Structure 1
Amino acid sequence: MLRCLLLALAVLVGNQNSLADPSQNYPFSIETEKEGDGHRIVARNNGPAPISVKVSIADSQYITTDRPFPVFAVVPPGGGTLYLAHIRPAMTGVGYSFRTHSSWVLGDFNAQQSPDALYRLPYRDGAAYRIGQAPGGPVTTHTTPDSLYAVDIGLPEGAPIVAARDGVVIYTEANQVYGGQSPDMVSKANEVRILHVDGTIALYAHLAHGGVYVYPGQRVTAGTQIGLAGSTGYSSGPHLHFAVETVVRSGDGLAMVSVPIQFYVGNPPIAFAPRFGMLVAADYSSPGRMPDVEAPQMAGKASVTTQTATGNREMVISFEVPAPLRAWLLLVPAWQWAIGTVSLIFLLTFLDSKRKDWRRATKMQEPTLRSRPAEEPLRHGLSARDKLVIACGGDRQRADRLQEYEYHRSPGISNEEAAQRACERLQRDRH
């Protein structure tokens, strides 16, 4: 039955990330402007973060450029204008045409995380929470390059979220209200992105409605509260999605990827890589110690013990749920459990009906055997009269009538012979 339930639920559960797209409302633009006998392409960045940009040319005729395309560049923040390329006609007096295509992402594709970079736990001092999804553990949604090294921390709704490292807030999304595991929730998570001195960007996602406390351009230090935990966007329940990302040139394009991180606790600090099942307390006043890790092979262990009346013998039945399965089951929302349970009930009812139909059909195909009379039980040592009374079910009056009938049929027979004939006639009539 458990296997059927898991198979039914497996059909229902889907995995998907749900992070907002900063390009929707970030103050950045790429423009083509007339200049002399040609055109120039410029980028303007009025936001607080550097922007990695790619510009390519399509459908061009009779043009020449001052540099090869596609052009990759990093546009610095602060309202500056960056010249990207100049396009001129290939021949004087001949018309020319072209079309540009551009794409960009927050961050600097030249940035690399500092080797000594450490991150404090992104929740308030004194609190302790368990790490869910993490590199090397059970994975349900962290399957894309920007989330491979991300961690999910199971925080309750409204728990304070703090900055894990000093930096500048470069992007916020605070207008989302709802969360859930339906397609319309994709890209509807409240979030905060913070730029670090080495160019990496920390992402804090799924914050609560009304739970973003910072603004773009604000400088924060590690431990500063930036918001509240929630479950906005594509989410199965309250938690914090935390990742450190950087931009890379991937093939002929740009991509955001996550990088491995090291948390620390204690004073002096103890550094550690996040792992699935870790229960970590944000303690920064006492000497640090390595956080406890829930052993995957023991996760979800249940046992039943029985004992005999004498107390001498004991039987233990145990069942262990593997850690990856347990982590997956914990992420299944209640409404999917309900649908899976109802589906299982219908499935079992249908299978039981089919089983009964099959048994009826099989029984109808069996050859019908004629009933055969049961042999009369042996009654050794009994007289014919006693046997007749027994055959009449103990009714002596009926036995007398049957015996009298045999007298009339065959006058002169003995009582024993009349009783014998009456008993045989009774047996023939019954059969």
Structure 2
Amino acid sequence: MCHWTPLEPGKPHYLMKSFKPPFGEGPVFISSTGALEILHVSDPELVKDIGHCTPSELGKPKYLKRSRKALFGRGLLTVNGDEWAYQRKLIAPEFFVDKIKGMIELVEDATAPLLESWESILDNVGGSRDIVVDDYLRKLSADVIARICFGRSFTRGEEIFCKLRQLQKAISQQDALVGLSAFWKHLPTSVNREIGKLEEEARLLILDVMKEHNNSTDNDLLRVIIDGAQGCHLQGRDAEDFIIGNCKGMYFAGHGTTEVTMIWCLMLLAAHPEWQEHARAEAAEVCQGGATLDVNALRQLRIITMVIQETLRLFPPASLMMREVLIDVKIGGLDVPHGTIIQVDRSMLHQDKDAWGPDACEFHPDRFANGVGVAAACRPAGMYMPFGHGPRTCIGQNLAMVELKVVLARLLSRFAFAPSPRYRHAPVFRLTIEPGFGMPLVVTKL
């Protein structure tokens, strides 16, 4: 049970010591679950101020660290303070643009089996059939991040990610049943037993790969993480938790969010054949003769980039940005005490008609056209944040954009997509926004 309180002028509240209009006229309100006070923010000026807060002022909520511990551990996605600063400094350089350039070939290698698989399927049925694309795209995305994270052991990495996918679904099922109830999560229910079993299996798989790396000279992301554990002088179980937490984080940040964006991209292109044709013509020109893609070729994929940006606007993979106030802070005209949870709903920002216009709920990639980029696509620019906001913006966004461009260019060069009569539009929250009943599409070989 929860209740909510809009912040209105003349209504006293401990968050309103410095309250002034217009901050209480709808886009800012408080809800309470009993244990938590949550400040919901969709006011542009307050959202902008939140982005200016330092990591010492806002961090990841403690209750999320507890409820998501099985999936994220103590990796970059959940830690705060000096621990967060150290891990980000360690891992972020692995996703700088210069490093991403060398990953394009890895994405190409991971995409090739999918192209061959679909061509083989279609050749056997006359060139066109219904295909549920979810699992194919999920495997492709897992393959990409496994190659980057685990190097030569990428097949073991795929096995780990498969286990983490099961864990993600189990935790989502638990959340759907009990919401924020911390007590329920400790009861010996069948779901909790399944979560514990999957967590231990994933842990053992990661430890096995880690031991292999200790005896190798592989220079991949796992090596950076292993060396990072030694660099902060962690020993025994603490070092293992550091490594396991960051490997799990790479799964969610580098795989889970990218594959759902691929799925929604194909759905939207199937539903808008005119944009699909524009994107295909561009892909055919850039990929002519099956030429190997490089960073210069990807820069020419302007229409495909617009399609990706619009997909991320309509279906941001992580729909909520949650922060806990670590020390008393002032945000806009509000004095916000430590311990308050701040929640920003990306979907509300991305479909705000005042920021995006009357067609805010519609698919119009040309709002990002003519090189205006996201900064000029809406007013104010801070209303677009698919990769996060402020100091904790996703470090893997460059890799995500490269992966999405390569995969879409290759798929559109070989196949056409149309809506399937079997598709039921029911997005659900499973830590990311996914199709509730899968994504069947009519795929036709060109």
Tell me the TM-score normalized by structure 1: 0.22
| Highest RCO, 1 vs 2 (Cα 8 Å, sep ≥ 6) | 2
- Name the structure with the higher strand share: 1
Tell me the TM-score normalized by structure 2: 0.21
